[in-house]
Amino acid sequence: MKVFVLPAGFEGGDFLDLAGDDYHYLCRVRRLKTGGSFPAVDARGREYHLTLESAGRKSCRLRVQKKGSSLPAAGEESLVLYQCLPKGAKFDMIVRQAVELGAARIVPVRSRFSVPRLTDAEGRLERWRRIAREAVQQSGAYALPEISAPVSFDGIPEDFGESREGEKKLGIFFHQNPLAISSLHGYLSSGPREIALVVGPEGGLADEEVQLLLKAGFVPAYLGHRVLRTETAPVFAAAAVRIILLEKERWNLANGNRTYQGDGDPGRPSAG
């Protein structure tokens, strides 16, 4: 266990009583002994240090110590993944990998070419949230990503516009054709604090969807000539953005070619 995620209802306090799955996980699966301690995090990313005080046959009590609020990821840019709903169980895998890559929020999107009608939306949301929580515990991602309720495609700009108001934002969508001569390095050089990644379903984005995003200030990015499966595209997109940001002190935009200079200024707000 890298980091234990506290139950959503946890509001602070010196002690925490756990039963059910959490008790089972800690005391049966992890076989935690009295006095044993481990790191934890709440739904807002605040860190704690937990110590097992006592364990019964169906529940256990933990001592809770709050840690400083300085997260390892503090100062890191925030990624929001707008993922058009793919077929079958692919979204499960996308949630798992997006959490590992540190997505702060994942928004399922009903798009023109999305196949699924998303029956039992509540049940599936519940499932994705459980998968996200498990992935956080495995990966030490620290902050539990939010899995938002599904939005329709044309709701993306408004949804992103309302998220983390006041932050410097950049909306990027990924397209199979190189729509622009811009680059991810160019877009990201503008220093955005919150970045939306819009990834299409199996059938890609419809022309009117591309137009809608362009009008809302989202910029097109290109990941190469290969056709990526729906479940690989968001990992590639998130990984590409992460490595460029992680190494942002190590590179500068290429100069000497004026046509590239425009790349450095895509910092228009991506939502109206």
* 179 is an interface residue for its own copies by CB under 8 A: no
Residues 6+ apart with CB under 8 A from 130: none
* 267 is an interface residue for its own copies by CB under 8 A: no
Binding mask 212-231 for its own copies (x = CB under 8 A): ----------xxxxxxxx--
* Region from 23-31, 109-117, 155-163, 178-186 binding its own copies, contact rule CB under 8 A: 178-186
Decide whether 113 or 222 has the Cβ nearer to its own copies.
Answer: 222
Q: Which two tokens stand for residue 61?
A: 């009590």
Q: In whole angstroms, what is the distance from residue 115 CA to residue 203 CA?
A: 9
Q: Which two tokens stand for residue 253?
A: 């935009």
233-246 vs 90-100: helix crossing angle, rounded to 10: 10
Quickly list DSSP for 227-244: PPPTTTHHHHHHHHHHHH
Amino acid identity for residue 176 in this structure: Q
Length reported for the chain? 272
* 191 is an interface residue for its own copies by CB under 8 A: no
Decide whether 256 or 272 has the Cβ nearer to its own copies.
Answer: 256
List the interface residues with its own copies, window 86-125 (CB under 8 A).
96-97, 100-102
Q: Tell me which of 14, 165, 207, 247 binds its own copies, using CB under 8 A.
A: 247
- Helix or strand run (H / E) with residue 129: helix 121-139
- What does the binding site for its own copies look like in residue numbers (CB under 8 A)? 2, 72-73, 96-97, 100-102, 138-141, 183-186, 222-229, 232, 235-236, 239-240, 242-244, 246-247, 249-255, 260, 263
